[in-house]
Amino acid sequence: MEKKARTSATLEALRKQVERIIREPGEKLTDGDELDLLRLTHELEVQHLELELQNEDLRRASRELDSSRKEFYDLYESAPVAFVTVNEKGIIEMANRAAVRMITGSGDSVKGSLFSRLVYAEDLGVYFDCLKQLALNYAVSPCELRIVGNNGRLVHVQMEAAIKRDEKGVIHWCLTLADITGRKEQEAALRKAKDELEVRVRERTAELERKNKELQEFAFIASHDMHEPLRKIQTFGSMLEAKGGDRLGETEKDYIARITGAADRMREVLDALLRYSRVETKGEELRPTDLDEVVREAASDLEVQIGELGARVEIDPLPKVSGDPSQLRQLFQNLISNAIKYQRPGSKIVIRIHGEENDGTGRVFVEDHGIGFDEKYLDKIFQPFQRLHGRSEYQGVGIGLSICRKIVERHRHEHPGERIDLHRHTAAREAK
């Protein structure tokens, strides 16, 4: 443009020079005037050529601008995202094909429509607040609202807005609308499935708790009611052995010994069942408990067994926890008893109990140099009446660790914000 202006100024100056030379009609030109005219004519021809070149540049620039405008328009129209331009009165000035399809469901024009009338009534506040914040030069995050199409279909969109001012300073709103209806439908379906799953889980949990309670009550009643028949078996077996005396042969005495031995083992199993069922049904309310005192009482209960085997129990400072003192006492009594029982013959029995507290979690470690076990049996040893050794090797019915596990689980269930982690270390491995 500057070059064109300079050329126009030059032509104007040349024109004035020519007028000065030939201002008097019929006046004879001097040799100097003729030379000036020739020079001016040459300059005019040069300027004419420059104008032609400039005009060609302008025509080429115009063609490139038209091509860019067409390319932009094609991209604008074919974009998968809806673009809408709204004037300061809220009237749609321009919309691409994606926006037209979103709003009308067909190819009908939406130009001239009031955009706010297309917004779902409950979302108008979101729409106007977004434009207001943008007009105040605040950073505005994409907002979600719903558009009601001409066919009545509700479309969920994510809207991004930008301000454009024309040369007169008039505001135009440039809106980008991304259809998120599919995502919203999936989210609604997921919420529904989650709610249904939570209902089923609650129902299933309630059913399992009811059945578990029934089983615990059954175990308690069955074990309690079976004690009397067992006592009679033991009593009559003993009477039969006493009255038979020398008249009984070795075979008969063996039978009687087996009967009374089986009754004794059955009584041990029933007693163990009673202890197992009482973890849930007879537990006390959890309260602040000093584990130091609990563990020392548990060791005191086993004083005779510890003394007979020459065992040593070392108790380091332990964390304070929220628990049922009687059950925790039973827990450590079982663990110490197991540590004493499952030792290598002739080995020195040393049991160390220590603990730590970190981030609300109390960890207690029971360490000994016992025989240990293969980790593949880790789940099995915590199941009721599951044994890794025969009765001839080690006494017991195989429920001690099951009771330990049930006590720990009860404490975790009733105080989910607090944890008690129990670790038992042997010479070979750890059980948790």
Q: What is the CATH number of the domain that holds 412?
A: 3.30.565.10
Examine residue 189 and state whether it is found in any structural domain, yes or no. no
Model pLDDT, residue 428: 36
Q: Are residues 72 and 84 in the same domain?
A: no
Prediction pTM value: 0.43
Q: Are residues 330 and 359 in the same domain?
A: yes
Examine residue 275 and state whether it is found in any structural domain, yes or no. yes
Query: Beta strand pairing status for 82-87 and 171-179?
Result: antiparallel
Report how many domains make up the chain: 4
Per-residue pLDDT of the chain (432 residues; tens, 9 = 90+): 555 555 566 656 666 665 665 555 555 556 566 676 677 777 777 777 877 888 887 888 787 777 777 776 667 677 788 899 999 889 999 888 888 888 887 667 788 889 999 999 999 999 999 888 888 877 778 899 999 877 778 899 999 998 888 888 888 889 999 999 999 999 999 999 999 999 999 999 888 888 777 777 776 676 667 777 777 887 888 888 787 777 778 888 788 888 887 877 777 777 766 666 666 656 677 888 888 888 888 888 888 888 888 888 888 888 888 888 888 888 888 888 877 777 777 778 888 888 887 776 778 888 887 766 656 656 666 666 565 555 555 565 566 777 778 778 777 765 554 445 555 544 433 333
CATH code for the domain in which residue 148 is found: 3.30.450.20
- Tell me which of 252, 282, 312 is where a domain ends: 282
What stretch of H or E contains 100?
helix 97-104
d(CA 321, CA 251): 56
d(CA 42, CA 223): 129
Examine residue 184 and state whether it is found in any structural domain, yes or no. no
3-state secondary structure of 248: coil
Q: Are residues 270 and 157 in the same domain?
A: no
Model pLDDT, residue 185: 92
Cβ atoms within 10 Å of 180's Cβ, excluding its own? 15
Q: Are residues 62 and 116 in the same domain?
A: no
- Domain of residue 90, residue span: 79-179
C-alpha distances in angstroms, 299 versus 99, 307, 312, 313, 320?
80, 11, 10, 8, 18
- Tell me which of 52, 76, 100 is where a domain ends: 76
C-alpha distances in angstroms, 39 versus 27, 46, 386?
20, 11, 122
Q: Are residues 133 and 83 in the same domain?
A: yes
Nearest residue to 326 (alpha-carbon basis) of 387, 283, 275 = 283
Examine residue 174 and state whether it is found in any structural domain, yes or no. yes
Q: Are residues 234 and 327 in the same domain?
A: no
Examine residue 186 and state whether it is found in any structural domain, yes or no. no
CATH code for the domain in which residue 265 is found: 1.10.287.130
Examine residue 161 and state whether it is found in any structural domain, yes or no. yes
d(CA 16, CA 9): 11
In the DSSP assignment, the letter for residue 140 is -
Q: Are residues 110 and 8 in the same domain?
A: no
| Dihedral over alpha carbons 263, 266, 270, 271 (to 10 degrees) | 70
Q: Are residues 311 and 405 in the same domain?
A: yes
Q: Which two tokens stand for residue 249?
A: 């042969």
3-state secondary structure of 143: strand
3-state secondary structure of 36: helix
3-state secondary structure of 350: strand
Examine residue 421 and state whether it is found in any structural domain, yes or no. yes
Q: Are residues 318 and 423 in the same domain?
A: yes
Q: Are residues 305 and 428 in the same domain?
A: yes
Q: How far is residue 404 CA from its own chain's centroid? A: 32
Model pLDDT, residue 170: 85
- Tell me which of 29, 46, 76 is where a domain ends: 76
C-alpha distances in angstroms, 423 versus 152, 375, 420?
65, 14, 10
Model pLDDT, residue 398: 63
Model pLDDT, residue 284: 72
3-state secondary structure of 345: coil
Examine residue 294 and state whether it is found in any structural domain, yes or no. yes
CB burial readout 27-62, b (16+ within 10 A) else e: eeeeeeeeebeeebeeeeeeeeebeeeeeeeeeeee
Model pLDDT, residue 430: 35
Q: Are residues 290 and 423 in the same domain?
A: yes
Nearest residue to 256 (alpha-carbon basis) of 246, 242, 276 = 242
Q: Are residues 292 and 416 in the same domain?
A: yes
d(CA 366, CA 295): 11
CB burial readout 255-289, b (16+ within 10 A) else e: ebeebbeebeebbebbebbbbbbbbbeebeebeeb
d(CA 332, CA 364): 10
